[in-house]
Structure 1
Amino acid sequence: MPDLVNHPPHYAAHPFLPGECIDYTRHMGFVRGNAFKYLWRAGAKGNTVQDLEKALWYLHQLKTGDCADPDENVPGAHWPLVVEGSARGLASIAAARLIGAHSHSVLNLAIANTKTAIELARKENHA
Structure 2
Amino acid sequence: MTIGGSDVDAINPSHYQDHPVFSGECWEVMQFCDAATGNALKYLWRAGRKDDTAQDLRKALWYIRQLPAPCTPIIPQAVVDRLAAEATPFLEDHESDVLWLTVAAIMHLVRRQHQDAADLINLAIRKAS
TM-score by length of 2: 0.77
Q: Which runs of 5+ in 2 are unaligned?
A: 1-5
> Is residue 88 from structure 1 mapped to residue 104 from structure 2 by the alignment?
no
* Counterpart in the other structure of 2:42: 37
Asked if structure 2 preserves the Cα contact closer than 8 Å seen for 1:32 and 1:69, the reply is no
C-alpha displacement at 1:48, in angstroms?
0.6
> Is residue 118 from structure 1 mapped to residue 118 from structure 2 by the alignment?
no
1:60-98, Cα deviation, whole Å (9 max, x unpaired): 111x44xx8771526222121345332222112211222
Q: How much identity, in percent, do the aligned residues show?
A: 35
TM-score by length of 1: 0.78
* Counterpart in the other structure of 1:52: 57
Aligned ranges for residues 92-103 of structure 1 at < 5 Å?
Answer: 92-99=103-110, 101-102=111-112
The root-mean-square deviation of aligned C-alpha atoms, in Å, is 2.3
Q: Which runs of 5+ in 1 are unaligned?
A: 123-127
Q: Which has the larger radius of gyration?
A: 2
| Count of residues paired in the alignment | 116
Moved more, 21-30 or 81-90: 81-90
Q: Following the alignment from structure 2 to structure 1, what is the Cα–Cα distance between the partners of residues 95 and 124?
A: 11
* Counterpart in the other structure of 2:31: 26
